[in-house]
A and B are shown apart, each in its own frame.
Chain A
Amino acid sequence: MAAKTTEHFVLIILSMLVAFGPRFIPLRIFSTRKIPVWFNEWMKYVPVSLFTALVVKDIFIDANHGYTFTGIGNLAKILAAIIVIAVAYRTRSMGLAVVLGLVAVTLLTFALAL
C-alpha cells in the first residue's frame, strides 16, 4: 500500500510538470513575441482529435481484451453519449452535461440489463 502511494505521488509530480510545460512556456514566450500562425492552426485540431479518440476508447473499445472494437456492444454508453451531445449543444453547460450523462448511463445500463 505504501509503495502504491509513493508511485501515485511520483505520478502526480510528473503530471504536474507535464501539465505545467504547455501552460507556461507559450505564455512566457508569447508575452513578448508573436504567435506563429502554423502553430495556432495545428493546435486548433489537437483537442478535438484527442477528445474523440478518448471517447471512442471508452464507448467502442474493449481494453481488457486486446483493445478490440466492440461495435454496439456498449449500447447504454452509445445512447448516453448521444444524450450528452444533445445536452451540451443545447445548454452549453459543462456541469449539466456531466451530471445528466452519469444519470443517463446509470438508468440505461439498468434498463438494458432487464
Chain B
Amino acid sequence: MKKDEPRWLEVLKVALPLCLSYVPIGLACGILLNVAGFNTVLTGLASILVFSGGAQFLIASMLTVNAPLHTILIMLFFLELRYALLGSSISQYLHNTSKKFLYFFAISLNDENYAVNYLKFATDKAWRPQDALMVEHYSLLFWTIANVVGSLIGNLLTVDLEIVDFALTSLFLYMIVMQVANRLTILVSFFAGILAIIFMGLLKSTMGLVVSTIIASLFGFAMEDYLVKHGHQRGVLLHKIKPKASRKVISKSGDN
C-alpha cells in the first residue's frame, strides 16, 4: 500500500467500481419512485434512510398496486432479513468497535458494499473498520445522487410503469443467479415460484409472497439438513455449481 496517497482517495479507488454500478440502478429506482408518487425530497430521504435497492424498488412497485402498509412492511422485513446473515458474517471483523460505530455501520450496510468490505477484510490486513464505513458512505453518496437525478428525470418524461418495473425483476433475477450455490438452491427457487402462484391465487393478496417465502426457505433448510445428515453432501442436489469469491462465507456453511 502506498503511503503518499491520502486514505480517502485509496478507499475511494476500492469503492469506485461499486459506486459506478449503482448509477444506472439508482436512476431507474428514482424514476420508479417518482412514478409511484414520491417527490424528489422523499426519494432522496428514502435513499439515505432505507438505502436498499431491492427495498426501494419494492416500495415503489407495491405502492403502484395499492398494497396496504402492513403488507409492504412485512415484505420489506423478509427482504431485509438477508442482512442479518451479512451482518453476522462481517461482525467478526468489527470486534473492537463502539456501539455507536456499529449503529452507523449497520444503517449503511448493503449487499454490494458488504461484498467489497468482506473481501477487503479477508485479504488486506491493513483494512480497518473505519475504511469499511467509508466504503459504505461512498456507495450511499452515489446511490442517493443517482436516485435524486432519476426522480428529476421522472418529472420530465412519462415512462411506461410496466417497463420500468422490470428493473426490479432484473435486479432480483440477478440476485437469484448470484445466490445459486448448488442444485438444491435451484429446486428451492422453482418450489418458491410455484408456491407463490398457488398462495397469491388463494389469498388474493401479496401476503401469498410471505407465505411462499417462509415455506420454501424452510423446505430448503430441511432438505439440506436431511441430505447432510444422511451423507449426501457430495450427491446430485448439493453438488456445487460455481464458487463465489465475494460471498465465501455464505456458501461455506453449506458446503462442509
Assembled-state Cα–Cα distance A94/B168 (Å): 11
Choose from B28, B45, B78 the contact partner of A46 (Cβ within 8 Å).
B78
State the Cβ distance, B39 to closest chain A Cβ, in Å.
Answer: 7
Assembled-state Cα–Cα distance A48/B90 (Å): 20
Choose from A40, A63, A100 the contact partner of B85 (Cβ within 8 Å).
A40
CB-defined interface of A9-45 with B at 8 Å, one 1/0 digit per residue? 1011111101111111111111110010111111111
Choose from B22, B65, B176, B191 the contact partner of A55 (Cβ within 8 Å).
B176
State the Cβ distance, B247 to closest chain A Cβ, in Å.
Answer: 11
Which residues of chain A in 65-114 are interfacial with respect to chain B, using CB atoms and an 8 Å cutoff? 66-69, 77, 80-81, 84-85, 88-89, 92-95, 97-102, 105-106, 109
- Which residues of the other chain, A, contact B22 by a CB distance below 8 angstroms? 95
State the Cβ distance, B228 to closest chain A Cβ, in Å.
Answer: 9
- Chain B's closest residue to A20 (CB) is B107
Query: Does the CB pair A43–B165 fall under 8 Å?
Result: no
Interface residue B91 (Cβ < 8 Å from any Cβ of A):
yes
Choose from B73, B163, B197 the contact partner of A15 (Cβ within 8 Å).
B73
Query: Does the CB pair A93–B166 fall under 8 Å?
Result: no
For the side of the interface on B, what is the size category? 35 or more
State the Cβ distance, B18 to closest chain A Cβ, in Å.
Answer: 9
- Which residues of the other chain, A, contact B169 by a CB distance below 8 angstroms? 54-55, 58-59, 77, 81, 84, 101
Interchain Cβ contacts within 8 Å, total number:
291
Query: Does the CB pair B163–A106 fall under 8 Å?
Result: yes
- Which residues of the other chain, A, contact B147 by a CB distance below 8 angstroms? none
State the Cβ distance, B211 to closest chain A Cβ, in Å.
Answer: 9
- Which residues of the other chain, A, contact B95 by a CB distance below 8 angstroms? 31-32
By a beta-carbon cutoff of 8 Å, the part of chain B in contact with chain A is 20-25, 28, 37-39, 42, 45-46, 49-52, 55, 58-59, 61, 63, 65, 69, 72-73, 76-92, 94-95, 97, 99, 102-103, 105-107, 109, 112, 160, 162-180, 185, 188-193, 195-197, 200-201, 203-206, 208-209, 212-213, 216-221, 224-225, 250, 253-254
* Across the A-B interface, the 7 shortest Cβ-Cβ residue pairs: A101-B170, A45-B220, A49-B216, A24-B106, A53-B196, A27-B87, A49-B192
By a beta-carbon cutoff of 8 Å, the part of chain A in contact with chain B is 4-5, 8-9, 11-16, 18-32, 35, 37-61, 63-64, 66-69, 77, 80-81, 84-85, 88-89, 92-95, 97-102, 105-106, 109
